[in-house]
Amino acid sequence: MKTLVVYFSRSGHARELANVLSGAMRADCEELIDVRNYKGFFGPVRGAVNALRKSITHICPPRFHPRDYDRVILVTPIWGGIATPAVRSYVDQYGDMCKKIMLFSVSKKSHVDKVKEDLEKTFSVVIENAVGFTEAQLSKGDVLTQMREMSAKNG
């Protein structure tokens, strides 16, 4: 199955997860670039404001086209309980061109279910599978083993 991993990351956690997933699946990997600057002291504040407004942003044109893939895996940090503006914008622009969508989130503690629900309701897409990691889980390492354990627990 030809897979594309698409991610946004401000401080590196989602990037780390996206790299593990794309490596394990031999997938192409696309980093989304938000034209808004979320770096520096006030970066998180700007991020929080945009997340709470559920705002859409401008992302740089992607290198890979989702139409060329059987499956697109979105990897996003959770901001204000939902996906980042860059990932929401990607789904807004390209969601209807994705044959299958899977979702991975990274957060301090928020749950992936709300992120999935927001993307599905707002952009009329179907997300086949959603898996959430906290930073604490990521720091334990071996994401792939944890995923196997999660799926064994969930049957």
Of 66 and 85, which CB lies nearer to ligand FMN in the complex structure? 85
CA atoms within 13 A on the CB side of 30: 22
Shortest gap between Cβ of 97 and ligand FMN (angstroms)? 24
Hey, what are 155's tokens?
A: 């049957």
What is the distance between the alpha carbons of residues 2 and 62, in angstroms, rounded to a whole number?
17
What is the distance between the alpha carbons of residues 16 and 97, in angstroms, rounded to a whole number?
26
Hey, what are 90's tokens?
A: 């990607």
Shortest gap between Cβ of 100 and ligand FMN (angstroms)? 23
Shortest gap between Cβ of 154 and ligand FMN (angstroms)? 21
- Letter for the amino acid at 143? V
65 interacts with ligand FMN by CB under 6 A = no
107 interacts with ligand FMN by CB under 6 A = yes
What is the distance between the alpha carbons of residues 34 and 86, in angstroms, rounded to a whole number?
6
What is the distance between the alpha carbons of residues 26 and 33, in angstroms, rounded to a whole number?
22
10 interacts with ligand FMN by CB under 6 A = yes
70 interacts with ligand FMN by CB under 6 A = no
Provide CB contacts within 8 A for 57, sequence distance 6+.
Answer: 34, 35, 36, 50, 85, 86, 89
Of 46 and 100, which CB lies nearer to ligand FMN in the complex structure? 46
Piece in contact with ligand FMN (CB under 6 A), picked from 29-37, 55-63, 106-114, 142-150: 106-114
Among 70, 117, 135, 142, interactor with ligand FMN by CB under 6 A: 135
Contacts with ligand FMN, residue ranges (CB under 6 A): 9-15, 44, 47-48, 51, 77-81, 106-110, 135
